[in-house]
């Protein structure tokens, strides 16, 4: 299914440029000429991302963004803010309200395509996760404590969807877990850092490069270990990769220096919408998250251990 992008801009000339710049992208464009029209379209349809102009008469981009984030059905919708104003206080306002992608007018074709592609990929991923979460519900609720090991991005996404079914807000939990599971593979095991990923995304080569590196001899035996257990009213998930770690502290918040990059916001998003807490340990190749549990999913395990070892196996009630 082709991705669906809602373009909101009161200037026909700007919308024409966007249509031209995105003509080769794998997405369908839907256009709104005002904030009011955008609200109607957002309530009536399903979109994978929104390209939103900040300065518009009537309901401006800031108000549209606020309404998106206040709507439970739309709150995780990726929003790309396009603006001619890039002052620090205006950037900070947009970031605070949840516009994690930024473009400054006038922008280049490749910059627009790269950022929109990233936002649409995130939206498409979230749509697919919703379907997987529904498919995995049932037997996963019986799991009290388990150890998992995965190697590829696809395996990580499937595991995230499965674990999310025992969480109070499955779709949000799945989104957060996928971000951390993907990071563990690409940054941890494969060594793709922030700057390199930005270049790969801009060139449309991130997926192919990840696949290539997974097949390299030095990476064949690299796995990500995941330990999950139920503790009273929450699920505790510990994730450990085989990498050398990273400077995780600066990625717990989205600062202005990364606002215009197509990547680098996954941990922030996960922390904001999915988890009660996120705790990185040591050099950063191990992270523990706590997620509100779905009521009635298994028997409370106040004495459950939290840790990873080669001998831990799934325990099914």
Query: Residue 181 has what pLDDT?
Result: 95
Question: How confident is residue 259, by pLDDT bands cut at 50, 70 and 90?
Answer: low
pLDDT value of residue 215: 95
Query: Which residues are CB-neighbours of 241 under 8 A, at least 6 positions away?
Result: 184, 185, 187, 188, 189, 222, 224, 285, 286
Does some domain include residue 128?
A: no
Tell whether the model's pLDDT for residue 297 goes beyond 60. no
User: In terms of domains, do 153 and 70 share one?
Assistant: no
Do 31 and 59 have their domain in common? yes
118 plus 147 within the same structural domain = no
Looking at the structure, tell me whether residues 111 and 179 fall in a common domain: no
> Computed from CA positions of residues 103, 92, 251, 267, in that sequence, does the dihedral angle turn out positive or negative?
negative
pLDDT at site 267: 77
User: Do residue 64 and residue 149 come from a single domain?
Assistant: no
Q: Is residue 31 part of a domain?
A: yes
- My answer on whether 79 and 222 are in the same domain is no
Say if residue 9 is in the same domain as residue 117: yes
Are 56 and 108 members of one domain? yes
The CATH number for 156's domain is 3.30.565.10
Q: What pLDDT band is residue 311 in, cutting at 50, 70 and 90?
A: very low
Tell me: the pLDDT tens digits for 45-96?
889 999 999 889 999 999 999 999 888 888 888 899 887 766 667 777 777 7
The predicted-structure confidence for 180-209, as pLDDT tens digits, reads as follows 999 999 999 999 998 898 888 888 888 899
Q: Of 95, 123, 151, which marks where a domain is finished? A: 123
Between these two residues, 125 and 209, which has the higher pLDDT value? 209
Inside any domain, residue 131: no
Dump pLDDT digits (tens) for 145-184: 899 999 999 999 999 988 998 899 888 898 889 989 999 9
- 136-142-145-149 Cα dihedral, nearest 10 degrees: -30
Instruction: Please check whether residues 109 and 221 belong to one and the same domain.
Output: no
pLDDT given at position 296: 58
The arithmetic mean of pLDDT across residues 27-42, rounded, is 95
Based on the domain organization, do 280 and 173 belong to the same domain?
yes
Shared domain for 40 and 169, answered yes or no, is no
pLDDT of residue 316: 25
**How far is the CA of 209 from the CAs of 110, 192, 264, in angstroms?**
19, 9, 18
DSSP string, 156-173: HHHHHHHHHTTBSSHHHH
* Residue 231 main-chain phi, psi, to 5 deg: -130, 105
**Residue 115 domain-assigned (yes or no):** yes
Per-residue confidence (pLDDT) for residue 139, from 0 to 100: 57
As for how many domains the chain has, the answer is 2
In a domain, 227, yes or no: yes
pTM score above 0.75: no
| Of 62, 90, 123, the domain-final residue | 123
Are 149 and 115 found together in one domain?
no
Whole-number Cα distances in Å, 42 to 5, 7, 37, 80:
11, 11, 9, 15
With respect to residue 130, please indicate whether it lies within any of the assigned structural domains: no
Q: Among the three residues 90, 123, 156, which one is the final residue of a domain in this structure?
A: 123
CATH code of the domain covering residue 57: 3.40.50.2300
Q: What is the CA radius of gyration of the chain?
A: 20
Q: Structural domain of residue 57, as residue ranges?
A: 3-123
pLDDT above 50: residue 302: no
Asked if the model's pLDDT at residue 228 lies above 60, the reply is: yes
Q: Do the domain assignments include residue 129?
A: no
134 lies in some domain: no
Tell me the pLDDT of the chain averaged across its residues. 83
pLDDT at 312 over 60: no
């Amino acid at each position: 299914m082709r991705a669906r992008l809602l373009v909101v801009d009161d200037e026909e000339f700007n919308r024409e440029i966007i249509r031209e710049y995105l003509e080769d992208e794998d997405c369908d464009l839907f256009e709104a000429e005002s904030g009011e029209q955008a609200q109607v379209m957002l309530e009536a349809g399903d979109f994978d991302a929104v390209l939103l102009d900040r300065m518009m008469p009537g309901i401006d981009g800031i108000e549209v963004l606020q309404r998106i984030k206040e709507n439970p059905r739309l709150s995780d919708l990726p929003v790309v803010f396009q603006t001619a104003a890039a002052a620090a206080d205006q950037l900070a306002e947009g970031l605070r309200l949840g516009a994690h992608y930024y473009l400054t007018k006038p922008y280049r074709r490749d910059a627009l395509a790269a950022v929109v592609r990233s936002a649409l990929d995130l939206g498409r991923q979230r749509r697919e996760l919703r379907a997987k979460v529904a498919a995995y519900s049932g037997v996963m609720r019986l799991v009290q404590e388990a150890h998992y090991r995965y190697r590829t991005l696809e395996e990580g996404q499937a595991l995230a969807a499965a674990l999310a079914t025992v969480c109070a807000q499955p779709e949000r939990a799945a989104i957060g877990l996928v971000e951390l599971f993907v990071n563990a593979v690409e940054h941890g095991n494969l060594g793709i850092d922030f700057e390199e990923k930005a270049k790969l995304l801009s060139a449309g080569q991130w997926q192919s490069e990840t696949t290539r590196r997974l097949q390299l001899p030095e990476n064949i035996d690299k796995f990500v270990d995941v330990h999950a257990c139920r503790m009273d009213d929450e699920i505790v998930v510990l994730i450990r990769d085989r990498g050398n770690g990273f400077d995780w502290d600066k990625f717990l918040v989205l600062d202005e220096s990364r606002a215009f990059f197509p990547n680098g916001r996954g941990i922030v998003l996960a922390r904001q919408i999915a988890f009660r807490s996120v705790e990185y340990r040591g050099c950063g190749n191990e992270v523990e998250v706590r997620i509100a549990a779905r009521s009635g999913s298994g028997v409370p395990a106040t004495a459950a251990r939290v840790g990873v070892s080669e001998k831990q196996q799934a325990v099914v009630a």
